Amino acid sequence: TAVDVAAVLGAFRRSYPEVGVNVRTGGSDEFLRRIAAGELDVGFLGLAEGVTPRGVQTRELSRERLVAVLAEGHRLAERRRLRLEDLADEPFVDFPEGSSGREQSDLAFDRAGLRREVSFEVNTADLLTGLVRQGLGAALVAPSVAREAPGCVCIPVSDGPVRVEYLAWDSFNPSPAAQAFVDSILMPQPKSPSPTAATA
């Protein structure tokens, strides 16, 4: 959510039309393994705060506290702020156990000394918010995902998990194309000068 991937890819293609680009979606753990193995050039990762990616070069892009997503008619939907203990007895919709998406919430509940039940394990944010919209459970997601969930409300969670987004790439001899892509994200592009009028 820190980067508009489609816009970045479009700009890169316009700058380097001869470079072939393939895009894959998946989990951050899988991407870390594949980058370290030389199977992927670059990846966008979302990891729990305190989890450091290893075996690859990274740059932190953003960090954000996850928010609670509830169905509009949920008993807590009118609250302005929640704590994890307010949600502990709710059934949860989350990503699969062991995934980096799930780890963010699991670690937060563990640190708070709370247990929760994950009733639905899913692989996509759309299905996750769809199940929440049907009143089947609560979820903790990035604010940008929550805002795009019709029929749901998003509520800040004061002690909720923090998600850290990284750009990751192979630090050992990256290809020129991969390095150009990394540079296009990390190096801000110069802004065009604003038009000025001159009189003689």
- Of residues 188 and 23, the one with the higher pLDDT is 23
The band of 189, judged by pLDDT with boundaries at 50, 70 and 90, is low
- The pLDDT value given to residue 139: 96
* Ramachandran region, residue 192 (left: φ > 0; alpha: ψ -120 to 50; beta: rest): beta
Tracing tokens 């979606």 back to the chain, one arrives at: 25
175, pLDDT greater than 70? yes
| CA–CA gap between residue 195 and residue 28 (Å, rounded) | 43
| CA–CA gap between residue 168 and residue 177 (Å, rounded) | 15
pTM, whole model, 2 decimals?
A: 0.78
Tell me the H-state helices in 94-142.
Answer: 100-111, 125-133
Q: Give which of 34, 29, 72, 74 is closest to 48, Cα–Cα.
A: 29
Lowest-pLDDT range of 70-84, 105-119, 129-143, 169-183:
169-183
Contact by Cβ (8 Å): 92, 119: yes
166, pLDDT greater than 50? yes
| CA–CA gap between residue 100 and residue 68 (Å, rounded) | 18
Contact by Cβ (8 Å): 62, 2: yes
